[in-house]
Chain A
Amino acid sequence: MNGNHYNLNLKDILKKVFFVDLIQGLFITFNYTFSKTITLRYPDEEKWIPYRRFRGLHTLNRNKEGKELCVGCELCQKSCPTQCITVVPMQDKTGKGIADRIAYRWEINLLRCMFCGLCEDACPTEALKLGREYELANTSMQRSLWTKEELLAAQEIPVEFDGGVIVRARLERDDKGLKVIPDMSVQKRWW
């Protein structure tokens, strides 16, 4: 065994006596205290808007004429590994959808969803997309059940919006829970 291992040289002893490491560390801390903040002030003031490729809450979409793209083909339901989607089709001749077949019910139970996106891949009409809504925590199981009407509603983060930025936001509380409302006009890059 090499006894040198236990021998301290003078330089080390001095370093210890004068707390050099500690002071160096504190100096870094001290420096950051006065440098520009890079922490995301989420949820109170800021919110991260993910890229388009993000897989958040499902959205049902319309075409340019405003017709529902979903034709109730049930392929998303079939492809879902966790079986959390229920689609019931119906006939509709009023021109609501792109075909005379639309979804009568389109429901998802997010408690089971693992956001794999297979349903989106299966959708033949690009009606179904996983969106950028990720604040899905809630206090009631019932709130995890999302229906066609809710998923068809205008999205907070428009599809055209590229994402990958931080925007200003404000936290709101109501009886349904917490909500962080983004303000797309004030953006910044996080790096």
Chain B
Amino acid sequence: MATVKINGKEITVEDGTLILEAAKGAGFDIPTMCYHARLSKLASCRVCLVEIVGQKKLQPSCVTPVMHGMEVLTESPVVKSARSSMIELLLANHPLDCPVCDKGGECELQDVTFKFGPRNSPFGERKRRFHEEDYILSPVIIQNINRCIQCKRCVRICDEVVGASVLGSIERGAKTGETSFVKEYLDCDHCGNCIEVCPVGSLMSRPYRYQSRPWDLKGVDTVCTYCGTGCQLTVQARNGEILRVISKPDKGINNETLCARGRFGYSFINSHERFVTPMIRKGGTLEPVPWNEALKAIKDGLTEAMKDGRKTGGIASGRLSNEELYLFQKLMRGVFKTNNIDSGSRWNTGAVKSFANVMELNKGGISVYDALNADTLFIIGSSISDENPITDYLIRRLSRNKKMNIIIASPRGLKLDSSATLSLRHRPAAEGDILGGIAKVIYDKNMDKLKDLTGKEHLKNISRENIPDLTWTDWSSIESVSGFMLSANSITIAVGNDVLRGPSRIESMHILAEALRLLGKDVKLFPVFDRANQRGAWEMGVHPDILPGYSFRDGDGLGSEGIIDAASRGEVGALYVVGEDIVSDFPDGGFVREALRQVKFLIVQDIFLTETAKMAHVVLPGASFVEKDGTFTNQEGRVQRLRKFIEPQGDAKADWEIIASIGEAVEPSFHYGSVSDIFKEIKGAVPMYRGIDFEGLDGNGAIVKGSGIGGQGAGVVAGFSLRPKSEVRSQEQETPDPEYPFILITGNHLYHSGRLSLKADTLRDILPEAVVEMNEEDAKAMGVSKGDKVKVKGDRYEATLTAHINKRSVRGVVFIPENFTDVPVNMFFTKGKGFPRVKVLPLSSLSPQGRGPG
């Protein structure tokens, strides 16, 4: 602790606190330009100078820590005049074209000048001008280099947080320094974080260009619904028209950062492609009808379809709010008397149950900051840099200044590899064997201490000899991962939802975590989800075997796969699908289409006419994330508020209202008036939510608390059994086929999430068409280079795509994002067969001039 006097006011702060922060705490305002709390310190602008009594030279307060007994003056005449001349220097070459500058009204240079700056300037020389016209750097960034004040915040955030490092200074020196792209724009994440931190109007948003002034905008702080990271963002609109999304430095786990999807993926809200009235299938086509007619049709249709004991089922999206998901499962279980419910359709239902159990989701959430406070971070089962960009940014930023070993295991090369101590490239679907291998090494080395390890018999299947075959990774890498874990005191294992594609991977994870815990390590398991409210969906009980609040049950309920199977046999009378495009997601596009044709009565609720909606008998227009209230629970278990900002378009309604009115149509007592009423009921049903105050949820949300069973590490819930491994192995293992040398994997692209983001025009501009990503050497061997068209052919589907090269991906694997309607990647899949095998045929040999510009 240090006691310092600032402008005569005595305060005590932590040792090492910067003078700047101490002064802010004491209520004194020191201007800054180059300083940024979460970036490395540069101290180049010198507008933050302060006087330290006894020292002749003024010191920059943004890098000078306090010392006990120090006396600091922030408002002395020397400081004032020095500060004012520093600002004058910044303005000397600044064009001062505020009237045309988009930053006007929220410009830090304007603010600092008005508060602390000179009122006139003796500089009469011509100002430096690099360019007469603003130029376009990327689909989202437009730059006016003349306004740049060389604070390098953009360079630092792009390098230290985003990890793209595409910005830098061309030519150094006071007069010529120009900060701009030094790499191709293809390396850019299009995250817009450089725009967010630029204090002046040098880097500007293209979609927001010349749209408004900040004072005209009305905004709402809400949560991003694209991925499980759960970033806070502020949606701003002028006269009801949404013009931009910004992030706020003091809000959320993400602070000033957002990814491309969060920042630029909003324009689907006003898309003309949305359908905004309920529609009923009449003689083959969907025709608009009023709500009461649609509800009546649903009531009649359900009664009719459920005759002869046919099954009912419901599939809801992990992008709905907790309230909607809770109501949905209540409707299905309580009114339709079925446990056939699930969220999403890509995963193995049993795997989900084991996952929830092993990850101990019922023990409450864990803040990502706590999770990242570990000696070793092991990431597996997630293309985290693409699926959860801000989680990637957080890891990169937080690991920069501390000793943390980051180990990444994934088939694809990830941007985060550059921050990793070790990256394992493994065969798709081999997560279980990787985890098992690590556990095996740890077990072998500590056999005496691990006598009681549950499930150790499963490790017998793994050996030094079969690991390369099973995982395409060598034993020595597995050994070094184990080494890092054994030498660490605290270990966080971040597990992505790829492990949910089959159940075997989860037990290995459990064995590994148990082994480490038995060795006295502090092990945290951190789930990484691609759907924003996946965790909420399970917490609300949208799963055949999970009741609200993780009451596990063993029953006859069917998950998505079971429902679709039953449908294919003609057993499903009615299916209610909310916000989920199962036709595009279920890993066998042909099968699910056929199956849905057999469903007597299909109700689909969504905001676009998805492939699934096109097959429905009744479609209901739901609301987008700014058109409804609710809460979302992100991967950490943090409950955050979704806030309504505009009325739903046309006749569309909030999804909870629709679910409630369907319930009410069948069962009049099923009545809900508001989201907070539903939340009250959730608090009763889900003990983890009891402590959460719906109205009081602010920018940081609230992390759900365990239901009293104990913290993480208290062991798996009694009665839960790990599946026998052999049964699973046979399902997942595909036999190599020389004709189809590549394994095809899929997932979200960095710029897209689900199918929704494709309707946001800015994101579509960034990546308009599907790509296929492959290893560099594989590409070379086929004579394919970046931008070439290639044909990807499986045994049941083929598509022509643009090739992207990923230098660090494993050989023998190609990746196609699942986000593109024209390349429905699930058509390659065959149900029950794991990842499909494909071949890649370069088209450039057919048309030599067909080579793209790269």
Contacts and interface: CB of A to CB of B under 8 A. Distances in A.
Interface string A41-77: 0000000000000000000000000000001111100
B104 interface: yes
Contacts of A171: none
Contact of B216 (A74, A91, A101): A74
Q: Which of B98, B104, B213, B215 has the most CB of A within 10 A?
A: B213
B213 A101 contact: no
A125 B99 contact: yes
A100 interface: yes
A71 B216 contact: no
Interface stretch (B204-212, B556-564, B766-774): B204-212
Task: Indicate the size class of the contact surface on chain A.
Answer: 10 to 19
Contacts of B100: 71, 73, 99-101
A31 B210 CA distance: 67
A89 B101 CA distance: 11
B465 interface: no
Interface residues of B, number: 14
Interface string B81-107: 000000000000000011110001000
A99 B213 CA distance: 17
A154 B21 CA distance: 57
A124 interface: yes
Given A78-B215, A89-B210, A90-B210, A71 B99 contact: yes
A20 interface: no
A125 B98 CA distance: 11
B210 A74 contact: no
A89 B212 contact: yes
A145 B42 CA distance: 52
A175 to B, nearest CB: 32
Contacts of B457: none
Contacts of A91: 209-210
B99 A78 contact: no
Q: Which 4 pairs of residues, A with B, have the shortest CB-CB distance?
A: A73-B99, A101-B100, A89-B210, A74-B213
Given A74-B216, A78-B213, A89-B212, 4 more contacts: A74-B213, A78-B215, A90-B210, A124-B99
Contacts of B97: 99
A99 B209 CA distance: 14
B134 A100 contact: yes
Q: Is the interface of B mostly helix, strand, loop or mixed?
A: loop
B125 interface: no
Contacts of B104: 73
Contacts of B739: none
B210 A72 contact: yes
B717 to A, nearest CB: 58
B133 interface: yes
Interface string A84-97: 00001111000000
Interface of A: 71-75, 78, 88-91, 99-101, 124-125
B211 to A, nearest CB: 7
Nearest to A98: B100
Contacts of B215: 78
A58 to B, nearest CB: 18
Contacts of B210: 72, 89-91, 101
Contacts of B216: 74
B410 to A, nearest CB: 42
Contacts of A88: 212
A187 B100 CA distance: 42
A73 B201 CA distance: 14
Contacts of B211: 89
A74 B211 CA distance: 11
Nearest to B99: A73
29 contacts: A71-B99, A71-B100, A72-B210, A73-B98, A73-B99, A73-B100, A73-B104, A73-B213, A74-B212, A74-B213, A75-B99, A78-B213, A78-B215, A88-B212, A89-B210, A89-B211, A89-B212, A90-B210, A91-B209, A91-B210, A99-B100, A100-B100, A100-B133, A100-B134, A101-B100, A101-B210, A124-B98, A124-B99, A125-B99
A184 B678 CA distance: 74
A41 B821 CA distance: 75
Interface in B550-608: none
Contacts of B209: 91
B201 to A, nearest CB: 12
A75 B99 CA distance: 8
Contacts of A75: 99
Contacts of B99: 71, 73, 75, 124-125
Nearest to A91: B210
Nearest to A73: B99
A72 B211 CA distance: 10
A125 B97 CA distance: 11
A52 B97 CA distance: 29
Contacts of B213: 73-74, 78
Nearest to B142: A91
A15 B248 CA distance: 90
B132 to A, nearest CB: 10
A75 B98 CA distance: 10
Q: For B104, B133, B134, B216, which residue has the most chain A Cβ atoms within 10 angstroms? A: B216
Contacts of B212: 74, 88-89
Interface string B192-214: 00000000000000000111110
B139 to A, nearest CB: 15
A75 to B, nearest CB: 7
B651 to A, nearest CB: 29
A71 B98 CA distance: 11
Interface in B113-163: 133-134
B206 to A, nearest CB: 10
A57 to B, nearest CB: 23
A73 B98 CA distance: 8
Contacts of A72: 210
Q: Which of B100, B212, B213 counts the most A-chain CB atoms under 10 A from its CB?
A: B100
A115 B655 CA distance: 50
- Residue from A75, A89, A100 with most neighbouring chain B CB atoms (10 Å): A89
Nearest to A101: B100
A74 B100 CA distance: 10
Contacts of B134: 100
A72 B210 CA distance: 9
Nearest to B209: A91
A77 B104 CA distance: 14
Contacts of A99: 97, 100
A75 B101 CA distance: 12
A90 B102 CA distance: 11
A122 to B, nearest CB: 10
A109 B104 CA distance: 25
A101 B97 CA distance: 11
Most chain A CB inside 10 Å of its own CB: which residue of B98, B210, B211: B210
B451 to A, nearest CB: 72
